[in-house]
Structure 1
Amino acid sequence: MSTFTNASTSTSTGSATDGRNGRNGTMSATTTEATRRLRLRGMNWLVWRQHRAAFWTILAATVLSVAWIVFQRNQMMDSLTGYGWPAKSLDEVGPEFEPYRRAFTFVSSGLGFLPVLLGVFLGAPLLAGDLENGTAKLVAAQSASRARWLATKLGVTTLVVVVSTVALSVAFGWWWNPVKDQNTVMEWTSGSAFDVTGPVPVALTLFTVVGGVAIGVVLRRTLMAMVVTFGFAVAVQLVWDYLRLSLGDVVTITTNKGVTAENSFPELPHAAYQIDESYLTGSGDLLGWSTCVNSPTDQARELCLKKADVVGWSVDYLPMSQMNGMQWLGASILFALTAGVVAFLFFWGRKRLV
């Protein structure tokens, strides 16, 4: 009887132990499998390891920059609340707000230079270095195709660029949003505001980086590709500055109360960007605002304006409400250009990448 009991106990204990071991083994296998899935493998691992210094530098700089922006935003809001804002305007706050104006200028200038920086130091050497030192031939000799190698290079790099620029754009927009309608802080049509918020910084940076990659593939020399990419990035910035305002629909407002009275000039919406102003004649023609400016007296000027049949003002402007639409339109154009450059890279890479 006792033998049977001991045997039963032993069997029960062994079964329980086996059950626990089975469950633990299953959990360990599941954990190991999940861990393996989280790790980079194959071509992704190779690309990340090859450029990990640049990638980690970009991500670390992004984290530090976002943290600093968050700190500055909290400091600014505490200061403005203490001065009675928004009941008081920023003009009434006075010189106490000046450090934050300088901070906006400093940060926006740095973010505005980001596409050039990443294009030169990340985009240009990305493939040019492999083509110059022979790494591309080594990769081509392996089982992976050149198209897969190119796609992985562009994919990992694009992911890092998008994550960084989106984080910086969101953080800066969040910082600027409470005072964005104050032209004394930053004018919304300027590059310091328009190009570092919304989708624009992502699109500009991606286009510049992918353009740098294409230049590196064609030139096949790292230093030369970096120099040419710098010129390309600067040219992109200049063209973008020239075309930025054309992304909006110009609104025209006219008056017929003369041009010399105190309140004759039309009142524009708050934070609107004035593009041009002209005198409006009775026949609907426009005259430059300098018409009759050389008249010796006010009476002579009024007589000159009457002779020219000037009846009021005609003012062209862009309302701030168009900012978001203008940004997405411009970003869409840049994304389309980036896609075109990527298509060129794959076309070129079919025969000439190695």
Structure 2
Amino acid sequence: MTTLTREPARPAPAGPARNHWIPRLGGPVWLVWRQHRAAFWTLIGVTLIGVAVMVYLRGQMMDYLATQAPTSRRPGGLPPEFETYVDPLFSIGSYLSYIPILAGVLLGAPLIAGDLETGTAKLVTSQSVSRVRWLIVKLAVPAAMLALSTGVLTAVLTWWWHPVKGLSSGLIWTAFFSVTGVVPVAYALLTFTVGVAVGLLLRRTLVSMVVTLGIVVAIGFLWSELWRSLGHVMSVSTDKGVGPGAVRPELPTEAEQLGQGTYFLTSSGGRLDWTTCLDQIEDDRAHTACLESKHVIGWSIDYLPVSQMQTMQLLGAGIMLALAAGVATFVILWGRKRLL
């Protein structure tokens, strides 16, 4: 009687243990990261350096404020040397205002235009990956990186500016409206998607970058002209006359004055332009008589209070994100049929 024996299985060679909890990129996500890894790592590096610089400069500013009397922490109450701490804050805020331009021109415009020029788009979509999936991943990965980087930078800038806002003329809220809060992230995503759309339509990297630059500059101009209209305009007025000794109305702290300046207020509640009776200003009696004939009783000024800043930022960001979503949808629908 024989006994059949089976040779025991050999144990698998020992190797480095895998960390299954570490996420691994694969498929189109890995391809997009691989294609643009230089830009992504640059974005990460710039973000880390920017955060480190702002944290250091904020620490210097707060150390200086700690040496000042609490009663001096009011608009105009700090010594002139405080401006040496204000200048870096204002400068870095100005630098961050270029993020939307860079996002559209350097990241958005070449994203698909470069693949169309080199033939990468044709190669990828000839595989098992559909055009729609490739376009979605192509948009989502850079957009996520851009939103994260911009959000971190602007959050640190907001943290730096918040304790000292309004303490200097260079720290008024209108100067930091577009570089703090949620606005910069939405703004960058809008210009990024616009750049992608331009690249998809023009299919040439350099031409797309130039055209995108012009469009982004135009968007910036429109935004600078229109963002104040997101707020609810308020007015402050007087009714004690406008003659010698009459006191003009005072705006609330940190309020942003709107319009041409001070208006004349009439007894009926109407307002007249400040140039009213200006041709008779050299003759006090004639000027006074002219204003009295128009029933002027005081002055009126329009303004936006600082308390509306956050609401205005949320509204502006919502509009930009809606536009960005619309442009991204256009890119996907257009590219699904006309990508190659």
Percent pairwise identity: 49
How far apart are the structure 1 equivalents of 2:72 and 2:80?
17
Partner of 2:270: 285
Do the aligned residues in 2 keep the contact of 1:195 with 1:201 (CA within 8 Å)? yes
Partner of 1:310: 296
TM-score, with length taken from structure 2: 0.90
1:116 is aligned to 2:101: yes
Tell me by how many angstroms 1:169 deviates. Answer: 1.2
The amino acid that maps onto 2:152 is A
Q: Do the aligned partners of residues 349 and 319 (structure 1) sit closer, same or farther apart at CA in structure 2, a change above 3 Å counting?
A: same
Tell me by how many angstroms 1:87 deviates. Answer: 3.2
Partner of 1:158: 143
Which 4+ stretches in 1 moved above 4 angstroms?
Answer: 297-300
Partner of 2:239: 256
Do the aligned residues in 1 keep the contact of 2:75 with 2:166 (CA within 8 Å)? no
How many residue pairs get aligned? The number is 324
Q: How does 1:133-172 map to 2 (within 5 A)?
A: 133-172=118-157
Do the aligned residues in 2 keep the contact of 1:183 with 1:271 (CA within 8 Å)? no
Partner of 1:212: 195
TM-score, with length taken from structure 1: 0.86
Partner of 1:61: 46
1:331 is aligned to 2:331: no
Query: Which structure: larger Rg?
Result: 1
Cα displacement string for residues 10-56 of structure 1 (whole angstroms, at most 9, x for unaligned residues) = xxxxxxxxxxx9xxx9xx87x54334xx1212221111011000001
Partner of 1:10: none
SS at match of 1:279: strand
Partner of 2:171: 186
After alignment, is 87-96 or 72-81 more displaced? 87-96
Q: Do the aligned partners of residues 327 and 262 (structure 1) sit closer, same or farther apart at CA in structure 2, a change above 3 Å counting?
A: farther
Which of residues 336, 341, 344 is equivalent to 2:330? 344
Do the aligned residues in 2 keep the contact of 1:203 with 1:331 (CA within 8 Å)? yes
SS at match of 1:283: coil
Which of residues 8, 17, 21 is equivalent to 1:34? 21
Partner of 1:80: 65
Tell me by how many angstroms 1:88 deviates. Answer: 4.5
Structure 2: where are the runs of 5+ without partners? Answer: 1-10
SS at match of 1:185: helix
SS at match of 1:211: helix
Do the aligned residues in 1 keep the contact of 2:54 with 2:156 (CA within 8 Å)? yes
The amino acid that maps onto 1:83 is Q
After alignment, is 337-346 or 256-265 more displaced? 256-265
SS at match of 1:244: helix
1:272 is aligned to 2:272: no
RMSD: 2.0
Structure 1 or 2: more helix by fraction? 1
How far apart are the structure 1 equivalents of 2:46 and 2:160?
18
Q: Do the aligned partners of residues 90 and 76 (structure 1) sit closer, same or farther apart at CA in structure 2, a change above 3 Å counting?
A: farther
SS at match of 1:296: coil
Tell me by how many angstroms 1:269 deviates. Answer: 1.6
How far apart are the structure 2 equivalents of 1:299 and 1:65?
61
Do the aligned residues in 1 keep the contact of 2:165 with 2:171 (CA within 8 Å)? yes
The amino acid that maps onto 1:124 is A
Partner of 2:220: 237
The amino acid that maps onto 1:332 is G
Partner of 2:55: 70
SS at match of 2:169: coil
Cα displacement string for residues 301-337 of structure 1 (whole angstroms, at most 9, x for unaligned residues) = 4343323321011211111100000011011110000
